[in-house]
């Protein structure tokens, strides 16, 4: 299935309270709505409209998500609000294996700590923050009560979706690991994702949702590939003090090591299915 880059933009109301004068007590909470779109390609051309609607309904939990970003001056915790499956009333167990886990980012220490569960095993991914070379634009727009400014960047897709898995990526890795058969092996083309972000200097922190960070203001909207994330509500200095700490449970591993672990497990599962079918 090929994903497209068309989005539906919704209207939002923003809540804001004046930050405390003591910077040490400064905290904020931002709510995001994420929407991805999908095209079914040639496979979808053979489906009836009723079948297409059923597919979209079953995949709704993967295409539409809500998140919370808790932050202070130096660090943030970004996590998904878990929803029940729209069709069965159960959680999406298959999709959970490849979804982004609870993510801690420390912009002062250039530190990423992310909790990832894969087929019942818990991993604690520790690495540096995603390197994003932003190009600052001159465009501005009002989002709710905040004046926002545009920034763009281009990042390797694989680095933005390191926690995810695709069979096409596995096939490419297998092909690249083979012998060149007398010919010089060609370096595979790197797929890039174009990013468009809107940040507000009115909230002067370098935080944002997901992998995005490093701008002179909180990122309220970001479009990347087939997905857009929009901030729906902001609460500054909530009455209840927020817990902004890194997760600490699971096997410690880097992003690259995690990708290799997942790919090896999926290859093993595919090989086992093939052996069962050949019996």
Report the 10 Å Cβ neighbour count for 14.
17
What share of the chain has pLDDT > 90, as a percent? Answer: 53
CB 210 within 8 A of CB 221: no
Q: pLDDT tens across 117-128, in order?
A: 988 899 999 999
pTM confidence score = 0.77
pLDDT of residue 5: 32
Least confident of 9-23, 201-215, 225-239: 9-23
Q: pLDDT tens across 91-138, in order?
A: 445 455 568 899 999 999 999 999 999 888 999 999 999 999 999 999
Bigger pLDDT: 207 vs 12 = 207
Bigger pLDDT: 181 vs 17 = 181
The burial class, CB within 10 Å (0-12 / 13-18 / 19+), for 49 is exposed
CB 137 within 8 A of CB 150: yes
Structural domains for the chain:
23-168+190-278 (2.50.20)
pLDDT of residue 131: 96
């Amino acid at each position: 299935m090929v994903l497209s880059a068309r989005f539906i933009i919704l209207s939002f109301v923003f809540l804001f309270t004046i930050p405390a004068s003591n910077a040490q007590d400064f905290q904020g909470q931002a709510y995001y709505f994420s929407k991805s779109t999908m095209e079914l390609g040639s496979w979808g051309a053979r489906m009836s409209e009723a079948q297409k609607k059923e597919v979209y309904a079953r995949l709704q939990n993967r295409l539409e998500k809500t998140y919370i970003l808790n932050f202070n001056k130096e660090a943030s915790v970004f996590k998904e609000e878990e929803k029940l499956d729209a069709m069965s009333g159960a959680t999406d167990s298959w999709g959970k294996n490849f979804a982004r886990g609870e993510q801690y980012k420390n912009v002062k220490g250039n530190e990423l700590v992310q909790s990832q569960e894969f087929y019942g095993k818990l991993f604690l991914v520790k690495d540096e923050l995603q390197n994003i070379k932003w190009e600052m634009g001159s465009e501005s727009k009002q989002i709710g009560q905040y004046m926002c400014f545009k920034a763009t960047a281009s990042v390797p897709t694989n680095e933005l979706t390191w926690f995810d898995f695709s069979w096409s990526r596995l096939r490419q890795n297998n092909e690249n690991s083979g012998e060149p058969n007398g010919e010089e092996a060609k370096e595979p083309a790197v797929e890039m994702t174009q990013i468009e972000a809107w940040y507000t200097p009115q909230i002067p922190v370098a935080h944002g949702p997901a992998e995005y960070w490093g701008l002179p203001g909180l990122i309220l909207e970001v479009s990347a590939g087939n997905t857009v994330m929009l901030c729906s509500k902001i609460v500054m200095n909530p009455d209840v003090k927020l817990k902004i700490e890194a997760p600490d449970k699971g096997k410690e591993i880097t992003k690259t090591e995690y990708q290799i672990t997942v790919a090896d497990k999926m290859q093993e599962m595919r090989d086992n299915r093939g052996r069962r079918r050949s019996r």
